[in-house]
């Protein structure tokens, strides 16, 4: 057996400045998605201890369709459906699995998925596996989506239309025009799939995400990850009861996966309650975002009012060199390179969380000024 082709590929990545490796967490957090600072909070630690004390299992022992379905899973799904304003919710081990299962399973042959060109890799994976046809459209361009649907209909197609977007984009930090996409979906009889991964907990009434502010959401299916602002792990798909039942019966990523930990489900239930009463946390986050934008915007960071402030440097080697200087100064900022982002747009992905104080943000700005 030889791994020569794999070694050659690694050498090519090294030559391009794109070889990846694992790095431990050091310095002030400007890299994670732990927006509300809950991941290491005593609140969730207490929730874990309480759940263990009342006998909640650490492991599930099997898939949900075998013996792995626990009361905690069902309680979480019922509470999440109510919290996010959906008919039903289905719990997955992570957002990647949930998105790929959703798009690879729910749309059928003869359907068409119109997806934003910048949707997450997990949605891209679902598109790769789907039975439906799909088309990637210019970023946040509602008019382009409407035109593409009209053209598809003119060609005689009459299947179900699906529109796939993120509410808050993970690498650009900008927001989707959800009201416009929702109106288009309603007018076209389409189903709108919204990845709320980076909005859940941090945005919307009670942290319920950005879709929560939209009226008449029967045509919308949402993904809410639990490993970002909620500080846990896992993901919840929220939508019609028929969606849940179909995925339970047809989604291979659900059927053949060991169920997520019941303990994790119990902790997420506590995280949802923290989010519900977390207006103070969200206000503090907004204040820190505003402070960061005032200092980092003049240095070239893109500012959209979200916790994600990308600073596009373009060239791979320079991006990683600047990131290394910031890390050496005690600020954990990571460089992002293709294929995660388009060619020529390598960037620093600067993330504002409650793990960094106002003084930390001021210090980062000065370190960044020097590093550039």
Active site residues: 33, 120, 166, 170, 195, 198, 228
**For the residues of 127-163, what is the DSSP string, one character each?**
HHH-SSEEEEE-TT-HHHHHHHHHHHHHTT--S-EEE
Residues 6+ away with beta carbon under 8 Å from 39: 32, 231, 232
Whether the CB-CB separation of 255 and 322 falls below 8 Å is answered with: no
Classify strands 88-92 and 235-239 as parallel, antiparallel or unpaired. Answer: antiparallel
Which residue reads 């000024």 in tokens? 369
Residue 146 CA to residue 140 CA, distance in Å, equals 12
Q: What is the dihedral of CA 304, 307, 312, 318, to 10 degrees?
A: 160
* Cα dihedral across residues 96, 214, 86, 265: positive or negative: positive
Residue in 117, 108, 193 with CA at minimum distance from that of residue 148:
117
Ramachandran quadrant class, 140 (left: phi over 0; alpha: psi -120 to 50; beta: rest): left
Q: String of b and e for 322-346 (b: at least 16 CB within 10 Å)?
A: bbebbbebebbbbbbbeebbeeebb
The pair of structure tokens assigned to 38 is 């809950």
Rounded to a whole number, what is the largest CA-CA distance in the chain? 61
Helices (H), the chain: 4-16, 42-53, 71-84, 95-105, 121-129, 142-154, 178-188, 241-250, 252-255, 262-276, 279-296, 316-328, 358-371
- Find out whether the peptide bond into 339 is cis, omega within 30 degrees of 0: yes
């Amino acid at each position: 057996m030889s791994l020569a082709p794999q070694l050659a590929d690694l050498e090519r990545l090294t030559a391009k400045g794109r070889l990846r490796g694992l790095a431990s967490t050091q310095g002030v957090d400007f890299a994670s998605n732990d927006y509300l600072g809950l991941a290491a909070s005593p609140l969730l630690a207490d929730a874990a201890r309480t759940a263990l004390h009342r006998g909640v299992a650490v492991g599930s022992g099997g898939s949900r369709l075998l013996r792995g379905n626990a009361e905690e899973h069902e309680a979480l799904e019922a509470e999440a459906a109510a919290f996010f304003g959906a008919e039903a919710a289905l719990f997955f081990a992570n957002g990647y699995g949930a998105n790929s299962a959703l798009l690879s399973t729910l749309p059928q042959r003869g359907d068409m998925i119109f997806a934003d060109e910048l949707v997450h890799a997990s949605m891209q994976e679902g598109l790769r596996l789907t039975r439906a046809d799909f088309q990637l459209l210019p970023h946040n361009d509602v008019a382009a989506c409407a035109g593409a649907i009209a053209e598809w209909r003119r060609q005689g197609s009459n299947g179900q239309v699906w529109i796939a977007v993120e509410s808050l984009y993970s690498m650009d930090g900008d927001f989707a025009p959800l009201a416009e996409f929702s109106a288009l979906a309603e007018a076209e009889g389409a189903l709108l799939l919204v990845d709320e991964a980076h909005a859940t907990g941090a945005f919307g009434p009670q942290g319920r995400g950005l879709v929560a502010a939209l009226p008449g959401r029967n045509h919308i299916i949402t993904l809410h990850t639990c490993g970002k602002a909620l500080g846990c792990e896992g993901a919840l798909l929220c939508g019609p009861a028929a969606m849940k039942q179909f995925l339970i019966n047809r989604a291979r990523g659900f059927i053949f996966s060991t169920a997520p930990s019941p303990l994790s489900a119990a902790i997420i239930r506590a995280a949802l309650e923290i989010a519900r009463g977390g207006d103070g946390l969200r206000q503090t986050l907004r204040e820190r975002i505003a402070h960061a934008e005032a200092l980092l915007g003049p240095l070239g960071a893109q500012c959209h009012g979200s916790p994600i402030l990308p600073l596009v440097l373009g060239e791979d080697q320079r991006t990683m060199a600047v990131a290394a200087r910031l890390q050496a100064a005690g600020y954990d900022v990571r460089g992002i390179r293709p294929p995660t982002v388009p060619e020529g747009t390598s960037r620093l992905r600067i993330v504002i969380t409650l793990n960094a104080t106002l003084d930390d943000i001021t210090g980062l700005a000065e370190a960044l000024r020097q590093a550039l």
